[in-house]
Structure 1
Amino acid sequence: MMFNFGCTYEGVYSDSDIILELNDNSDEKLYGIIENFTVQNGLTLQNESRKFHSGLNTITYEIINSDGHRLFKISGVVGETQYVISAYEVKSNNSEDMFKSLFHFVKESFPDQKIEIKRRDGE
């Protein structure tokens, strides 16, 4: 089941992924937006991007809370236009609220782009 939200979060779960279909060359803008989100929320952004022997450059950022727990992973491949933001299974009181906040923050930052939420269980 795909959710495409404007301002409502009914049905948004932390066991979901945020799927972003962005224009070309959005890598740096996405990083800046995610960095702003982490700063505003007292979180840490860790760059885990890697270049593989195949020549593919993966984009992987992790958002970490003050306790050192990984909350979210942002992933994609350089040159591609689709990115996925996944929530790690962290037992935190505010992880679902943080997921909703992250979705809203990204949606506002890319108002003309396709940004959806997809449940991992396929429902």
Structure 2
Amino acid sequence: METNGTELRISGVLGRLEAVLERENSLIGTDARFDITASNAQKSRCLYELNLLMKSMEPSDLPRAAGDRLIRLRSVVETNATRVKAHMEAVRDVTDLINEAVQAAEADGTYSMDTFRPAAQ
């Protein structure tokens, strides 16, 4: 295995992935301007790069430092999964509230089609 180059590339990808996850963990649910779609794209890009690097390797070839970093990264990923799940549940709850409000408004006749039909002459 090409130790220096591969180790550096793996370390770089893991560092970027960790930074993206940490940023997402700190901003999700606290910053209304946080772009979760862009964050997901960054995570996907890092995972894709990592997959390409790891394809030609055996697990035993993984540099020790990268293995240690992956172990630390596991807790960041677990935190991220918990926060993303909570965010998605909150989005679902808000969507349900909006749907219920729309249905209630339609049901009370305020916005029924009869309101907008011309009166029979």
Same fold (TM over 0.5): no
Name the structure where strand makes up a greater proportion of residues.
Answer: 1
TM-score under structure 2 normalisation?
0.24
**Whose helix proportion is higher, 1 or 2?**
2
Q: Which has the higher contact order (CA 8 A, sep 6+)?
A: 1
TM-score normalised by length of structure 1? 0.23
CA radius of gyration, larger in: 2
